[in-house]
Structure 1
Amino acid sequence: MFRSGRLRAGPVVIRCAIGAGRIGRDKREGDHATPTGEFRLFFGLYRADRMPRNATLLPMRPVRPHDGWCDDPDSSGYNRPVRLPCKASHEKLWRDDHLYDVVIVLDYNIFPRRKSRGSAIFLHCARPDLAPTEGCVALHPDDLRRLLPRLSRKTALTVR
């Protein structure tokens, strides 16, 4: 069994997946740790072919097959959205495994952006068994959809 986290939304507590490297203060690219801290929610992406746009106060847009996120610390696009194909190392946001059917971009290492301090730290859908993530926080899809109406750009996700 994997070690899971807990996400608290007011009085509601939801089990969540965290990084295989647990929770860390000194996040590094590729360490599989979920960074500790308080993170604002910037915007969200969703697979329009798999689900409708949920009611939320967050800016949301459909993810497209050419959407990616750069995870190459030596690239000028590091920890930023990129259009695929992309020469730099990146994550594909259009995935077959349903993990990115809903993705909320957290403000971890965005402003300021620090080389090799971690990229693509999202709130997204978890695997059915809540298997560890690469460093993100992940919820069962139904839990994430239920939470979406409560989220806005004023929402902060605290990881500790």
Structure 2
Amino acid sequence: MASSSGILDIEVAAMPGESLGRLTFGDLSFTCALGRTGLVDDKREGDGATPIGLFPLRNLRYRSDRLSTPETALPILPIAPDDGWCDAPGDPAYNRPVRLPYPASAEAMWRNDHLYDLVVVLGHNDNPPRPGAGSAIFFHLANEKGGALQPTEGCVALRLADMLKVLARCKPQTRMRIGDL
């Protein structure tokens, strides 16, 4: 679906309760991984669900030690070893980037696995953040086991080759629309 500016939105849809969905962007269509408990209207911290809604793509963060700079029109930031993301609802930096070590609970962005080698920050619960309404909702690389995409903790995830195709078509105005089938 195109926005009022004519920019295509990334569409993500799934059956209720499913942790796999379909991501469509123009003529591209891929299986994607979603939160382990499926899609929800009322996202809560730790529920394992992917929020339903329309979210701007804030920026792309990537591991420059593992990948060359991806082709995209999104703002790009390299991930550093001390980058984190606060997931402590009572902390003033909730759902914001932080430097590690951080005194409150924070997720490491520099990971040993490859999930955050490419990670797009989605504009979920960030303007301003509401404590407990979900943090670190990203569009990132999928975890695969035996060729099968594994559920996320509430994000949307694609295989590397699919992600690169999507990123190459993203504009700063591109949004992600997540909803039930």
Q: By the TM > 0.5 criterion, same fold? A: yes
1:93 is matched with 109
Confirm whether residue 151 of structure 1 aligns to residue 133 of structure 2. no
In 1, distance between residues paired with 2:19 and 2:43? 19
What is the distance in 1 between the residues matched to 2:62 and 2:101? Answer: 20
1:61-93 CA distance string (max 9 Å, x none):
110000000000010000000000001101100
Q: Which residue of 2 aligns with 1:12?
A: 28
Q: Number of residues paired by the alignment?
A: 159
- Which one of the candidate residues 152, 165, 169 is aligned to 1:133? 152
Q: Which residue of 1 aligns with 2:51?
A: 35
Supply the AA of the counterpart residue of 1:57. Answer: A
Is 1:75 the counterpart of 2:81? The answer is no
CA distance in 2, matches of 1:5, 1:75: 32
Give 1:138 deviation, angstroms: 0.3
User: Which residue of structure 2 aligns with residue 122 of structure 1?
Assistant: 138
Structure 1 segments of 4+ aligned residues over 3 angstroms from their partners: none
In structure 1, the residue matched to 2:74 is 58
Matched to 1:117, the amino acid is: A
Q: 1:121-144 CA distances to partner (integer Å, 9 max, x unpaired)?
A: 000000122100000000001110
Q: Which residue of 2 aligns with 1:103?
A: 119
Partner Cα separation in structure 2 for residue 26 and residue 4 of structure 1: 19
Q: Distance in 2 between matches of 1:105 and 1:48?
A: 17
Mapped partners of 2:129, 2:67: distance in 1: 32
Q: Does the 8 A contact of 2:35 with 2:154 survive in 1?
A: yes
Q: Percent identity?
A: 49
How far apart in 2 are the matches of 1:146 and 1:94? Answer: 23
SS in 1 for 2:168: helix
Q: Name the Cα RMSD after superposition.
A: 1.0
Larger deviation, residues 2-11 vs 59-68: 2-11
Relative to the length of structure 2, the TM-score reads 0.86
Q: Distance in 2 between matches of 1:27 and 1:148?
A: 26
TM-score after normalising by structure 1: 0.97
Counterpart code for 2:81: P
Note the 1:43-54 alignment, pairs <5 A: 43-54=59-70
